[in-house]
Structures are given as structure tokens and as C-alpha cells.
Amino acid sequence: MSEDSPKFLMRSFGRVKSRKIKPQQASLFDTLLPSIEANPARVATLLASGRPVWLEIGFGGGEHLAAQAANHPNVDIIGCEPFLNGVGSALRHIDDGHLGNVSILAEDARPLLDSLPDASLERIFILFADPWPKARHNKRRFIQPETVATFARVLKPGGSVRFATDWADYADWALQRFLANADFDWTAQSQADWNTPPADHVTTRYETKGLGDCRPVFFDFYRK
């Protein structure tokens, strides 16, 4: 299917696997993942429960996902990640922590987002997503006007999106697109508001590698 096709979903992520998945993690794909997979039936059940539902898009190795789930046992968290080695790592964190409030989708997050009812999520996290730094690849970035509009649709009033990156151009790109959407507020008052990790942020292994071209930037955008 060509990129010009109306049904073409441009890939916003890189590899789906890099190395052989460790045996312990591989076994969790068979034993744990089927019971916590974020399929339509499970997602519908979560949304009908009345509990807050959060979404993390591109959870990497799952450190942040698992820590937030452990810190907020009254919240159901859905994590989306197409990189299978990352999914394996997250499954290990979930299993080790005996976390019962996490659901995993080992795929692109956009079809799930499109299927969610209006005003169904409390929070969305997008932390250190693939920056696609070359200008000709910018169209593959996850943050686009259409995805920002979708965030506005699926968030409850007062809900939030946290976007973090260590690429200066992607920070500017994301800020411009969120500010262009009238449904979001950005309440930062000074540089410290975006250069200082939020109090509830959980540092990930990727973040500590410092692979970007600037210090980590944290933006919290709130649904009006």
C-alpha cells in the first residue's frame, strides 16, 4: 500500500525487534501477555469500571509504565509499544511487581486511540519518542496536528498529556502543534517548568543515555 493511499498508516517508530528476546521474557509472551493484552474487550471493560485510565504511548523498556502502575494502584494503565524487546522488558517488570492494573498493546497506538470513546482517558504519556530528526522524516513523528486533535477528543476535561524529549527540534515541533490546538492549555511560567522533571516523573534507561541534543524537556498540556 502506498503512502498516498487514504488507508496508509505511516509508521512512526523504528525497529520492532533488535536482538533475541531473553528466555524469561519470551515465556511471558505466552503466559502473561494474553491475560493483560489491551484487546477491544479488555479496553471496554477498563473504561466501564469507573476507575481512571491512563495511556502511555511508546513505553520503551517499561520502567516508567510499571513504576506509575505501582505508585497508582487505583489507576488502570494501558501501555502501547511495537518494539518487542521493550514489550518483553515491560512484561518482566509487571510480573516481578505483581501488577494487576496494567494492560499491554504490542502494536502501534494510533488504531487504539482512534477506537477510544470521547473523554475516556485521564492522562497520556509520550516520553522520548523517536524524534525522526531528519527533515524529510519529520512527517513520521508521532506528534502531528491530527494526533493532538485525537488527544483532545479522548481526554476528559482537565486531563493531561505529558510529552518529553531530549531533541530540541522535536520539543519546538510538539510545542507548536499543541499550542495551535485551542483545546489545550500550557501553564508553564518559566524555563524551570519544562527543564525540571515533574515530581511524579520516573527516569528511564533511555533517558539516562542522553542520546539527544539537549537536556530533557517536559511539557504538560491540559485539556480545557
Give the residue numbers annotated as catalytic, written as ranges. 130
Rounded alpha-carbon distances, angstroms, from residue 71 to 23, 46, 169? 28, 18, 32
Q: Write 142-149 long-range contacts (CB < 8 A, 24+).
A: 142/12, 142/57, 142/58, 143/170, 143/173, 143/174, 143/177, 143/178, 144/177, 145/177, 145/180, 145/181, 147/110, 147/113, 148/177, 148/178, 148/180, 148/181, 148/184, 149/181, 149/183
